[in-house]
A and B are shown apart, each in its own frame.
Chain A
Amino acid sequence: MSQPTLATSYLKRGLSRQTWIIIGIVLVLLHLLPRAIPQIVHIVIMIYLFATMGQAWNVLGGYTGQFSFGHSLFFGLGAYVSTLLYLKLGITPWIGILISCLSGIALGLFIGALSFRYGLKGPFFALIMLAFAEIFHMITMGWNAVGGSPGLLIPLKGNAPHLMQFTSKQPFYYMALWMMVGSLYLVWRLEKTRTGLYFLSVREDHDAAEALGVDTFKVQMIAMAISAGLTAMIGTIYAQYLLFIDPDSTFGILNSVEIMVRPIIGGPGTVLGPLLGSVVLTPLAEITRLAFQSYSGVYLMWYGMILVIVIMFLPHGLMGMIRQIIDKYRKG
């Protein structure tokens, strides 16, 4: 650590010009990818969608320290709201995605107001989230007006861009890519603001943060709103991509695990962690799912194994490991 001077800002540090150029090149390459290797477009879309949801989870879990064990709640809500608006009222999913986002925020703030007012933390908050996800799971299972347990099919309209339906996967690829890039940028910027630092202070110590003038309730509500709204939007895109949703694949507990496992393995509380976790885990899940088709759920055993290994040896996730290597390289 060199002697600090006032000339440089350590809290507001930006990226060097070279880094921006590299980011630009990577973005261009990612735009060309679907044309170059069309076979992997599906997997890459899933990587992006889960990276974005992981990032949403990360804002609440990684930065603010409130581990949600039921983020499928917002995902499912987003998927159902836009789909029902389209099926029942004929509202295009382009508007539906915004209403999904708003309803995700509203539900998030409701749960937040219930839990954060009483200072719920750790396992208690995780269980509240799990309970709400299960409530919605049960409601959608039992209520035929919203599809019941068979779920909802979105009728095929061929290539209908105004209804967010496309015959090719490419438009979804670009949507997912830009949602992912947008969420990355949002969190990267947020890290360098007062709110971002307040998130971290709440994660580290509620009481100390309060004593320093941080409105911990408000800060947690903001994190919740960002997290819930973003996750709900991904829910809508997912529904339009698959054109089919059912309670298990949206509100199910496994989906909550899918959302949280990526940022945890990638490195919670880091900007790149969720993306890194998604890049590693999503292909692994898809490949093991294909390889062991007759044994459904084998990929979950992989998750379990990887999670155990990561928690034992890499408590700060893959990003923590990368940082250690960089530090060593710099010193050595």
Chain B
Amino acid sequence: MKLRGLRLFAVASMPALVFAACGDDTGPAAAGPPAGNSTPEGDITVFAAASLTDAFTELGTAFEAEHPDVSVQFNFGASSALREQILAGAPADVFASANTSNMDEVVDGGAASDPEGFVTNRLEIAVPAGNEAGVTGLDDFANPDLLIGLCAEDVPCGEFGREALANAGVAPSIDTDEPDVRSLLTKVEAGDLDAGIVYVTDVMAAGDAVEGVEIPADDNVVATYPIAALTDAGNAELADAFVEFVLSDDGQEILQSYGFDGP
């Protein structure tokens, strides 16, 4: 007898919960204090591409040093995952993407406007320390005896890597399409791949475990990273100030120390 009550409860409560979940799509209401003075204060949350992790962490510290009443929180992840979170109404104030297409979708979704390119990144071949396979350039990617990894076509580094290979006229013999650049780098670091195409900044961040082999400028692809304050930013003034700081000389100096090029 009581089980029927249970079923009714479950069925009755489901649409209500679904409805409640859908209601969140509009995003957070303005949470920060209204901007009254010229010195920004409060908290902001910056959603940034995983490849910016080290550089933005330092940027955040420098920004906080310049504005003592400000606290910067970061959420690093794949640009596509961040895009989904932002479009689903995650409480973000600034979005820094590793490619323009994810930013474009956020802009099309009405969550941001007027993104600006703030750095560029070039591709480089990553090989394990010692380069036992003797990789000298993109031509080696056609060698079926080598263990070759790329990023998957669906993510920016995979798209750009294939573009570079096409520029060089090389049909690669691929052993794995990695879901992101960090996981490709892990396999190169461990010596399980002979070569992979990553960003210049990744080779730099990997330190001694990985060596870089340059890709000539004619074949190379330049990735532009756009940044924008988000429409629903809780503290719009602070979000703008952070974007300005990233574009400022101080911000650019920090970014370039991690291997990024100017916009």
Pair from one complex: no
Give me the interface of A with B, judged by CB distance under 8 Å. none
Give me the interface of B with A, judged by CB distance under 8 Å. none
